[in-house]
C-alpha cells in the first residue's frame, strides 16, 4: 500500500489573533505541486495559510478513508480534491458531525450527508467550445479526448467535446487512462491516438496528462486543456496549445473561511460551484504566431440556435444590464448579426451563442460571460466576469434585459 505523505503547515497571523483559528485539511491524488488540478488547490491553501489559517495536507492515492479520517480529527473543513474521494467522504463524515467536508469535482446526483458539500466541475460548455476549435483546427478531421478516469463530470466533458467537434465535421475518439498519476501511461495512450489519425487532442488527466502533452509536442500535434499551466508542469507546449478553463481555489476557500467565522454556512445540499467568489474562464494561447482570438470567437457564433441545433429557448436580442455583486452594472448590446458589444471597455467586441438554456457572450480578449435562464428571469453564473486577471476578485450575480434593439 502506498505510503501517505503528511505535510503540516502552521502559520500565524501578524497582528490581532483570530477569535478562533480556522483549520483546513486537504487530500489529493498525486502531488500538490503537479502544475495542474492539484496545484489549483495548493494555491488556495497557501493563500489561506498566509492569512493565518492552519493547513494540513495529505497527498497520496491509497486508503482515502484513512486519510480523510486523519484530517477530520484535527480540521474544521476537509477538502477532498477530486470526485474519486466522494465515496470515502460520505463514509467518514457521519463520524465527524461538527466538521465540514468539501468534495471538489463531485457528483451532485448522489446523496451526501448534510455537512458534505459538493463543488461540481461545470466544464462541459468549455469542452464544447474546445471541441469546435479542435474540429476546425484538425486537418485529418479526427480528434481525440484523453481523460484520467470516467467519472460523471469527465464523461459529460468528453461528450461535450465530441459534440463540438462533430458540429464542424470532425470525428472524436474518447480514451480513458484510468489513472491520474502515470505520465508514462499518458504518453503511451496519446501515442496510440496520434498514430490512429488524431491530430488535435483534448487532455484532462493531471499528471498522467503531462506525458500526453509532451509526446504531442514532440509529434507536432496540437492539444487543448482545461487548466492554465502552473509551476511544476514543465515544458509541455506544442503547436496550437490552448488553455481555456481555470478555477480560483483561493477565492473558494476564502469564502469558506468567512463562513466559518460567522458560522453561517449555506443550506444543506447547496452545491458550491468552484467558480464561487472569483472563478473565471479565459482563453489563453501558447502558439506562435498568436492564435486569432477574435477570429475564433466569430467561429463560435451560432446565431439563435443552441449547441445541439434546437431553437433558442429565449430571445436574447437587445440591451442587457449585467450586475456585479458590488452593484456595478455592465451594459451589453446583443445584436441580430451574432455580435455583442459592451461599455466595460471602449470598443469591446464579441459574439454570442446559445447552449443548454444559456446565453454565451464570447469576447475578443478571450473572456467568456454566461447568462443562465432562471424561471422568468436571468442570472449570471459560471466563469465571469470579463475583467483583467489582476483586478480584485469579483463576480457577476444578476442579468436583466432592458430593451429590445
pLDDT, mean of each 10-residue run, the chain (405 residues): 36 39 90 79 87 85 88 94 92 94 85 85 72 85 95 87 89 96 95 96 89 89 70 47 58 74 64 40 33 42 36 62 64 73 60 66 62 62 36 46 53
Domains 5-121+250-262 and 290-403 in one fold: no
Q: Which residues in 183-301 belong to E strands, given as ranges?
A: 200-204, 222-225, 242-246, 280-285
Buried-exposed string 15-41: b where 16+ CB fall within 10 A, e elsewhere: eeeeeeebbbbbbbbbbbebbbbbbbb
Per-domain residue ranges of the chain: 5-121+250-262, 124-225, 290-403
Contact 181, 37 (CB under 8 A): no
What whole-number distance in Å separates Cα of residue 49 and Cα of residue 403? 47
Find where cell 466544464 sits: 123
Contact 158, 185 (CB under 8 A): no
What whole-number distance in Å separates Cα of residue 131 and Cα of residue 200? 10
Helical ranges in 318-394 per DSSP H: none
Contact 211, 184 (CB under 8 A): yes
- What architecture is domain 5-121+250-262? 3-Layer(aba) Sandwich (3.40)
- Cα-trace Rg, the chain: 21
- pLDDT of 197: 97
pTM above 0.85, yes or no: no
Give the closest residue to 239 by CA, choosing from 282, 300, 285: 285
Q: Which CATH number is correct for 124-225, 3.40.630.30, 3.40.50.970, 3.40.50.2300, 3.40.50.720? A: 3.40.50.2300
Contact 183, 159 (CB under 8 A): no
- What architecture is domain 290-403? Beta Barrel (2.40)
- pLDDT of 259: 75
For CA atoms 295, 155, 218, 60, give the dihedral sign.
Answer: positive
- pLDDT of 114: 86
- pLDDT of 73: 95
Could you give phi then psi for residue 135, rounded to 5 degrees? -65, -40
Q: Any residues with CB less than 8 A from the CB of 308 and at least 6 apart, and which?
A: 163, 355
Find where cell 515544458 sits: 235
Strand 318-324 with 329-334, pairing: antiparallel
Return the C-alpha cell found at 206: 493531471
What whole-number distance in Å separates Cα of residue 225 and Cα of residue 212? 11
What whole-number distance in Å separates Cα of residue 365 and Cα of residue 282? 8
What whole-number distance in Å separates Cα of residue 29 and Cα of residue 208? 12
- pLDDT of 246: 56
* Orientation angle between helical segments 152-167 and 124-137, nearest 10 degrees: 40
Amino acid at each position: 500500500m502506498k505510503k501517505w505523505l503528511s505535510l503540516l503547515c502552521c502559520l500565524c497571523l501578524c497582528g490581532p489573533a483570530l477569535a478562533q483559528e480556522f483549520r483546513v485539511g486537504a487530500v489529493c491524488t498525486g502531488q500538490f505541486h503537479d502544475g495542474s488540478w492539484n496545484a489549483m488547490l495548493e494555491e488556495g491553501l497557501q493563500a489561506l495559510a498566509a492569512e493565518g489559517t492552519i493547513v494540513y495536507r495529505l497527498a497520496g492515492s491509497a486508503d482515502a478513508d484513512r486519510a480523510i479520517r486523519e484530517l477530520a480529527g484535527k480540521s474544521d473543513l476537509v477538502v477532498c480534491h477530486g470526485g474519486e474521494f466522494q465515496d470515502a467522504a460520505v463514509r467518514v463524515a457521519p463520524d465527524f458531525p461538527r466538521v465540514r467536508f468539501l468534495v471538489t469535482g463531485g457528483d451532485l446526483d448522489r446523496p451526501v450527508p448534510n455537512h458534505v458539500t459538493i463543488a461540481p466541475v461545470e466544464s462541459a460548455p468549455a469542452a464544447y467550445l474546445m471541441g469546435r476549435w479542435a474540429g476546425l483546427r484538425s486537418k485529418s478531421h479526427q480528434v481525440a479526448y484523453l481523460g484520467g478516469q470516467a467519472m460523471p463530470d469527465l464523461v459529460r466533458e468528453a461528450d461535450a467535446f465530441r459534440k463540438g467537434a462533430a458540429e464542424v465535421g470532425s470525428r472524436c475518439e474518447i480514451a480513458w487512462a484510468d489513472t491520474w498519476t502515470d505520465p508514462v501511461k499518458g504518453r503511451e495512450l496519446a501515442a496510440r491516438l496520434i498514430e490512429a489519425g488524431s491530430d488535435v487532442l483534448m487532455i484532462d488527466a493531471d499528471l498522467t496528462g503531462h506525458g500526453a502533452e509532451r509526446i504531442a509536442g514532440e509529434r507536432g500535434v496540437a492539444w487543448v486543456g482545461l487548466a492554465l499551466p502552473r509551476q511544476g508542469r514543465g515544458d509541455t507546449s506544442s503547436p496550437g496549445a490552448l488553455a481555456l478553463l481555470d478555477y480560483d481555489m483561493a477565492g473558494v476557500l476564502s469564502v469558506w473561511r468567512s463562513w466559518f467565522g460567522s458560522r453561517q454556512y449555506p443550506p444543506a445540499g447547496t452545491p458550491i460551484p468552484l467558480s464561487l467568489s472569483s472563478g473565471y474562464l479565459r482563453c489563453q494561447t501558447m502558439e506562435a504566431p498568436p492564435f486569432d482570438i477574435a477570429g475564433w470567437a466569430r467561429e463560435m457564433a451560432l446565431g439563435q440556435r443552441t449547441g445541439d441545433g434546437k431553437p433558442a429557448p429565449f430571445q436574447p436580442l437587445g440591451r442587457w444590464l449585467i450586475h456585479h455583486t458590488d452593484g456595478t452594472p455592465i451594459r451589453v448590446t446583443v445584436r441580430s448579426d451574432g455580435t455583442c458589444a459592451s461599455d466595460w471597455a471602449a470598443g469591446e467586441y464579441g459574439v454570442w451563442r446559445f447552449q443548454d438554456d444559456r446565453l454565451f457572450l464570447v469576447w475578443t480578449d478571450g473572456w467568456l460571460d454566461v447568462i443562465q435562464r432562471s424561471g422568468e428571469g436571468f442570472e449570471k453564473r459560471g466563469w465571469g466576469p470579463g475583467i483583467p486577471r489582476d483586478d480584485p476578485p469579483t463576480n457577476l450575480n444578476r442579468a436583466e434585459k432592458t430593451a429590445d434593439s
